[in-house]
Amino acid sequence: MLNARLLRWAAWAPGLETLESWHAWARDPVPIVAEGQPEARFLPPLLRRRCTPLTRIMLTAAFACCAEKERGEVRSVFASRHGSINESIEMLEAIAEEKPLSPAKFSHTVHNAQAGLFSIAANNRRASSSLAAQEDTFGCGYLEALAHLEREPARPVLLVMGDVPLAETFAHLIDEPPASYALALLLAATDSGAPVAEDEMLAFEWRTGDVIAPKPWPAALEFLRWWLIGAESELALGLRRCRWVWQRPFNPDYS
C-alpha cells in the first residue's frame, strides 16, 4: 500500500461551512444541497467577480486547508468530474446561436481554471495538475497527489476535489446526486524526515472486485465521513473499474 500523512482537511458545501458542522454531518449524514456558493471574501474583488461557483467553492476549501505560509509553497492537485463544463456549455449554446464568444469567459473554461486562479490568488508558483476520471475522480485525484509526492517528497501536496451540478442541458444524461461541494486534503510523504503522528497516517491501494454501490453524497465526502468517525479501519470506494481502498491507522508492515 502507499502511505501518506493527512496533515489537515477542510470542506465546504451549502450550509456546511465549519469543521463542527462537518463533524455533525459525518455522524448524521444527509444528501448535500445542490446549489449555493461561498462569499470567498479572501479573494481580491476583481478576481472574485470572475469566479464561477465551482471556483469559489474549491478555493474556499483550498484556502481553509492551508496556513498562509503553506499556501504559496504547496504543490496542488485539483480534481473535478465536471470542472468548468457548465461554462463551456454556455459557450456551446452561444456557438449554436452564432453569437460572438467572450474571450475572458473562454479563458475560464479550461479544466485547470481553478488551479490557475489558486496559483494567482495564493501567489503559488509550484507544480499543479488538474484531472477528471468520470465517477472515479476522487480516487484518481488522490493517486495524482501521491504522484506529486513521489516527484518531490519534501513538499506537501494540496488535493482539492469539488463539483457543482451539471447544467440542465446534459444533467439527465448522468446518474449522480446533484451537489455543490469541495473537500481539500493537505497530504505529505511519510519519508520526508518529519516526525509522524499515528493519527495522521493513511494508506491507499486499489483492488479488483465488484464495484461498490454509490452513496447519496459524493465519494470525497464519504471519505471525509469515514475519516472523521474513525470507527472503521478500512474504506472502499469505487464505481468503475477498480475499488479504491484507504486504511488507517498506519500499519508499519506496509512501508
Partner 1 sequence: MSKNRGGMPARPPCALVALGMTNALGANPEEIWPRLLAGDQSRFSLRDDLVPGRRLLVGEVVGPLPALPGRLRHYACRNNALALAALLQMESELNVVLRAIPRERIGVVVGTSTSGVGDAEAAIRHRRRTSKLSPSFTYAQLEFGGIAGFVADWLEVRGPAFTLSTACSSGARALATARSLLALGVCDAVIAGAADSLCGLTAGGFSALQAIAEGVSNPCSVNRKGLTLGEGGALFLVVREAGGVQLEGVGESSEAHHISAPDPSGAGAEAAMGEALADAGLPPSAISYLNLHGTGTPQNDQMECEAVARTFGKQLPCSSTKSLVGHTLGAAGAMEAGFCWLMLQHRSQEHLPLIPHCWDGQRDPKLPELHLTDKGEEVSVRGDCHVMSNSFGFGGNNCALVLGVEPRMEFQPGFDS
Using CB under 8 A as the criterion, which residues of the chain lie in contact with partner 1 when the complex forms? Answer: 2, 81-83, 85, 88-89, 91-93, 95-98, 100-103, 106-113, 115-117, 119-120, 122-134, 136-137, 139-140, 143-144, 146-148, 150-151, 153, 166, 169-170, 173-174, 191, 205-208, 240-242
Q: Encode burial over 217-240: b for 16+ CB neighbours within 10 A, e otherwise.
A: bbbbbbbbbbbbeeeeeebebbbe
9 vs 118, beta carbon nearer partner 1: 118
16 vs 40, beta carbon nearer partner 1: 40
Minimum separation from the CB atom of position 125 to partner 1 (A): 5
Minimum separation from the CB atom of position 133 to partner 1 (A): 4
C-alpha cell at 62: 483550498
- For 6-72, the DSSP string reads EEEEEEEBTTB-SHHHHHHHHHS--PPPSS-----TTS-HHHHHH--HHHHHHHHHHHHHS-HHHHT
Minimum separation from the CB atom of position 65 to partner 1 (A): 17
Minimum separation from the CB atom of position 112 to partner 1 (A): 4
20 vs 252, beta carbon nearer partner 1: 252
Minimum separation from the CB atom of position 223 to partner 1 (A): 16
| Cα gap 170→178, rounded to integer Å | 12
121 vs 201, beta carbon nearer partner 1: 121
33 vs 91, beta carbon nearer partner 1: 91
CA-based nearest residue to 199, from 56, 35, 3, 6: 6
Q: Is 234 helix (H, G, I), strand (E, B) or coil?
A: strand
